[in-house]
Amino acid sequence: MATWSAPGKVFLFGEHAVVYGKPGIAMAIKQRVQVTVRRCRFAQRPNSPYIAECLKFLDVKASVYVRSQLPSASGLGSSAAVTVATLFAINDEFQLGYNKEEVTGFAHEVEKATQNGRASATDTYVSAYGGMVLIRGEEKRRLIPPENFSIVIGNTQIPHHTAELVRKVAEFRKSSPAVANPIFDAIGAIAMEAMHNFDNPKELGVLMNRNQSLLEALGVGHPALTRMNEAAKNAGAFGSKLSGAGGGGCVWAVCPRSARNRVMNAFESCDGKPIPTAIDMEGVRKEADY
Ligand code: MEV
């Protein structure tokens, strides 16, 4: 039996555009998924398509138990965390001998296979390595997170379907490349500007709001996301935007320390659930078996 855990993430800037080679920035958060894998000849087929794909990818038979602090289908990277923790636990339980880089690469392949071939390496990489990461195509750069970078997450509690939203954006790009491609370019440019503004919350807020508008132009907004973003800004946040695939799920806001409670109350006032969090610097780790 082997137990591993991996953190979730907030997609800070660049989601969707990152699938087409533009820069994206994500940050691992303290909420984790813990996965126990036990070698077993007659295991039931797992409910999660991500776990089923992990077992198929490494060609093993095992039972898999998951305990999660992350809401699923919410833009906080629970599928990637499950995938990463499952693959590391399989590698350990079956003594396969792959190194961290290799297993992290497998996690990206598993995500791609379950998302019709379209997934950036962002969610799986940040879950495996922790911290704040910039992804652009094959390039993966660890960023130095600013001290006192404090965010508030709000969950609309409306689940989304990442593969479906990624497919919808791909269709838009196919049918209207002249409109979609400049939107991806603008989202990428915002991510690059954001990289230099993490210690300037006011400017960061402006960039977040612009990124949110461009995501809406891509068709991945949702009235509940708009309500939460507006409520956060009215409560004193510098900026607020969705995290991940959109169409529901979570938003994150940057605000002065003095406005944190007001922003959390604002999320609750529009049926959202505030999720206090902090950055995780550790990434995937082995846990004690119990
Ligand atoms: C999902 O968390 C982020 C997307 O950009 C998809 C991906 O990067 O694979 C929507």
- Walking along the chain (290 residues) 10 residues at a time, the average pLDDT comes out as 98 98 98 97 88 97 96 94 98 98 98 91 97 95 88 95 94 98 98 96 97 98 98 98 97 95 97 95 91
271 is catalytic: no
Atom of ligand 1 nearest to the CA of 220: 10
Contact 264, 142 (CB under 8 A): no
Question: Residue 211: its pLDDT value, please?
Answer: 98
Question: Residue 98: its pLDDT value, please?
Answer: 98
CA–centroid distance, 289 to ligand 1, in Å, is 32
Protein residue whose Cα sits closest to atom 9 of ligand 1: 119
Distance CA 180, CA 188 (A): 13
Identify the helix (H) or strand (E) that includes residue 63.
Answer: strand 62-68
Buried b (16+ CB within 10 A) or exposed e, 20-59: bebbbbbbbbebbbbbbbeeeeeeeebebebbbbbbebbe
CA–centroid distance, 105 to ligand 1, in Å, is 16
CA–centroid distance, 218 to ligand 1, in Å, is 13
Give the contacts of 153 (CB within 8 A, at least 6 positions apart): 10, 29, 76, 243, 250, 251, 252, 253, 274, 275, 276, 277
Q: Is 183 helix (H, G, I), strand (E, B) or coil?
A: helix
Atom of ligand 1 nearest to the CA of 77: 2
Within 6 A (CB) of ligand 1 lie 11, 15-16, 18-19, 119-120, 122-123, 162, 166, 244-245
Distance CA 165, CA 16 (A): 9
Mutate to test the pocket of ligand 1, among 9, 16, 20 (most ligand atoms within 8 A of CB): 16
Question: Residue 44: its pLDDT value, please?
Answer: 83
In the set 123, 185, 271, 280, the catalytic residue is 123
CA–centroid distance, 290 to ligand 1, in Å, is 34
Edge-to-edge strand list for the sheet holding 273-276: 239-242, 250-254, 151-155, 273-276
Contact 42, 207 (CB under 8 A): no
CA–centroid distance, 94 to ligand 1, in Å, is 30
247, two tokens: 């169409």
Give the contacts of 171 (CB within 8 A, at least 6 positions apart): none
Protein residue whose Cα sits closest to atom 8 of ligand 1: 120
Atom of ligand 1 nearest to the CA of 165: 10
Atom of ligand 1 nearest to the CA of 9: 2
Mutate to test the pocket of ligand 1, among 13, 18, 161 (most ligand atoms within 8 A of CB): 18
Mutate to test the pocket of ligand 1, among 120, 164, 243 (most ligand atoms within 8 A of CB): 120
Placement of tokens 């995290």 in the chain:
243
Question: Residue 290: its pLDDT value, please?
Answer: 64
